Amino acid sequence: METEFWTAIIVSLRIVSMASLLAFLTALFAAWGLKKRHFPGKLFIETVLMLPLVLPPTVIGFGLLIVLGRNSWVGSAYEWLFEQPIVFSYLAAVIAATVVAFPLVYQTFINGFEAVDTDLEDAAKQMGASAWEVFLYVTLPLAQKSIVSGFMLGFARALGEFGATLMFAGSIYGVTRTIPTAIYLAVETGDFLLASYWVGSIVVFAFFLLASVQRIKNSTAGF
């Protein structure tokens, strides 16, 4: 039982670490590209980016099967190149967790960027700084609380992902069986003791992450 317990935790941390990093980078790029900019179609793009936040995870999993499954051109091309499908793999679990975590990270970043004083950004531009330099040396430091909080919230959301992962990545022992899917299977097979250990572990992880976010949010300066 001990081996099975730690295997699910290690698999979860591997998947979630990669997923939260991908969600962080893609959300950072998207938030920077869309912040305080107005153009036709922006509302549509932002709505699409936020959809995974409100859609049932099973719908997200179904969508991933359609877009990246073995019958899609992306899935077929990947399988031809790497001689293995995307579905029911470590990569599939990472993609599912990334898609689910992305909207929460993105919204946190957007809120942080919009709170930055535009006068400071404009002053940097007038002094000759490029758009990238303004973002790197002015916007990011001033929005550092939101950046760190967004990453932690994305990590917590990815850690709790279940439905999309189960549909798209399955529950393969040592590969895609994360803590949530392990809990489901343990309860289904009547192993409530093992399920309770996993429940306790994920509650501790989530509590620590959320408490850290609240501490950052309530701090007066820096971290």
Residue 138 per-residue DSSP state: I
* Encoded tokens for 161: 């992902």
Please give the residue range of the domain that contains residue 76.
2-218
| Total number of domains constituting the chain | 1
| 184 belongs to a structural domain | yes
Q: How many CB atoms lie within 10 A of CB 201?
A: 17
Task: Provide the 3-class DSSP secondary structure of residue 37.
Answer: coil
| 64 belongs to a structural domain | yes
Residue 220 is predicted with a pLDDT of 52
Residue 38 is predicted with a pLDDT of 79
Measure the CA angle with vertex 27, ends 23 and 30; round to 5°.
145
* Encoded tokens for 211: 């408490």
pLDDT tens track, the chain, 223 positions: 789 999 999 999 999 999 999 999 999 999 988 877 778 888 999 999 999 999 999 999 999 999 999 999 999 999 999 999 999 999 999 999 999 999 999 999 999 998 888 899 889 989 888 888 998 899 999 999 999 999 999 999 999 999 999 999 999 999 999 999 999 999 999 999 999 999 999 999 999 999 999 998 887 545 5
pTM of the complete model beyond 0.85? yes
| 78 belongs to a structural domain | yes
Instruction: Assess contact for 146 and 109: CB atoms under 8 A.
Output: yes
CATH number where 127 lies: 1.10.3720.10
| 25 belongs to a structural domain | yes
| 223 belongs to a structural domain | no
Going from the C-alpha of 213 to that of each of 51, 98, 126, 147, 185, the distances in angstroms are 23, 19, 35, 10, 31
